[in-house]
Amino acid sequence: MNRIITLDEFIIRRQKDFPFASGELTGLLRDIGVAAKIVNREVNKAGLLNILGTAEVENASGDAVQKLDLYANEKLIECLKNSGECAGVASEEIEEIITFPTVNDKPSKYVVVFDPLDGSSNIDVNVSVGTIFGIYRRISDTADSCTLADFLQKGSQLVAAGYVLYGTSTLLVYSTGRGVNAFTLDPTIGEFCLSHRDIQIPQRGNYYSVNQGYYLKFDVDMRRYIDQCSDMNLRLRYIGSMVSDIHRILLQGGIFLYPNTRKYPQGKLRLVYECNPLSFIVEQAGGKAITTQLERVLDLEVHDLHQRATIAMGSPEMVDEMKAFVEKYSGINLPKD
């Protein structure tokens, strides 16, 4: 039998690979692991606790907020605030950043961004949801409180990112820029155990993932590309929870698309909380992530915490093909004369 490697053990081992690491990032990742277990506990017994359904508030993006979103949001904030390793957070559920006081007068180098429960329309019907997170090193002076600028860094500046998928089993997937590893929660011992080492996304796959219900709301070049996916007999899978759709593609290959629509001319998904952390993971696994206007997602300027972006991400050959297709049919990147 292979020896079990727990998330904590793995994180500590990795820290030893960096001779000057101070342990703060290690601590932060462990705290996120703890928060994930707490959220997982509630997600699993949600129906029993009467906390399903919509809370009477809207989030910063104007969507109805589910009660479990609020719970997950609170737990993440609580765990990160008490850890002493985090200077502040930005959450998809909150308008402004939250700055934390120092713990034991020890300044923190990092800030964390997260979507506490992504795919909230799935909560009430017992379909997979997820938590997405990203960690940035502060650019502000660590002697003072963190500032908005710390959170508005490009995705290429992420120090670490990951997600937790509350699905048939609960998985924590993360990267610190040296590959992607996944840990499955063993509920009998309450530990995340290494289950997928050094994930490599397949060069191509059989799946495409897009809300085909919006087909007529997409630009013509995107409609044509989707027609081509269908012509090539790719299988359409769309869960409506980005974490779940991306997880399938990470393991089995394919392409995920959320283009601009008439309702969302900039795209629907949030750059800071969804697109950047998941692009970081996909790139670390050998995949690609671009907007449907063909810019690399991780290179996008971030002006606003709740900024939206379009996205096409997944297997590298498929993203390249989509890019070539759009260039050909939309005229993007063609010589001017």
Task: Point out which residues bind ligand AHG (CB under 6 A).
Answer: 63, 118-121, 211, 240-242, 268
Closer to ligand AHG at the Cβ: 63 or 321? 63
The distance of closest approach from Cβ of residue 57 to ligand AHG in the complex, given in angstroms and rounded to an integer, is 14
CB of 59 to ligand AHG, least distance (A): 8
DSSP codes, 61-90:
TSPEEEHHHHHHHHHHHHHHHHHSSEEEEE
Query: In the structure, how many helices (H) and strands (E) does the chain have?
Result: 9, 17
Residue given tokens 């559920």 in the structure block:
93
Tokens of residue 157, six digits: 């500046």
DSSP state of 212: G
Q: How far apart are CA 29 and CA 83, in angstroms?
A: 10
Q: How far is the CB of 152 from ligand AHG (least distance, A)?
A: 21
CA-based R_g, the chain, Å: 20
How many Å is the maximal CA-CA distance in the chain? 66
Enclosing H/E stretch for 28: helix 24-44
Shortest Cβ 240–ligand AHG spacing (Å)? 5
Between 77 and 311, CB nearer to ligand AHG: 311
Rounded to a whole number of angstroms, the minimum distance from the CB of residue 64 to ligand AHG is 9
CA 92 to chain centre: 11
Nearest residue relative to ligand AHG (C-beta): 242
Question: What is the closest distance, in whole angstroms, from the C-beta atom of residue 237 to ligand AHG in the complex?
Answer: 12
Work out how close the CB of 129 gets to ligand AHG at its nearest, in angstroms, rounded to a whole number.
8
Nearer to ligand AHG, 176 or 292 (CB): 292
The Cα–Cα gap between 176 and 171 comes to 17
C-alpha dist (Å) from residue 270 to 9, 36, 275: 32, 21, 6
> Nearer to ligand AHG by C-beta: 83 or 170?
170
Nearer to ligand AHG, 40 or 128 (CB): 128
Minimal distance, residue 121 CB to ligand AHG, in Å = 5
Q: Which is nearer to ligand AHG, 22 or 121 (CB)?
A: 121
**Which one, 83 or 91, has the nearer CB to ligand AHG?**
91
Would you give the distance in Å from CA 91 to the centre of its chain? 12
Let me know the angle formed at the C-alpha of 277 by 272 and 282, rounded to the nearest 5 degrees: 140
132 φ/ψ angles, rounded to the nearest 5 degrees: -120, 140
Q: Count Cβ atoms below 10 Å from residue 204 Cβ, excluding itself.
A: 17
Closest CA to 244 of 323, 94, 131: 131
Rounded to whole angstroms, what are the CA distances from 34 to 28, 41, 107, 187, 335? 10, 11, 22, 13, 52
Q: Pick between residue 7 and residue 239 the one whose CB is nearest to ligand AHG.
A: 239
CB nearer to ligand AHG: give 15 or 122.
122
Query: Nearest approach, Cβ of 199 to ligand AHG (angstroms)?
Result: 20
**Are 238 and 258 spatial neighbours (Cβ–Cβ below 8 Å)?**
no
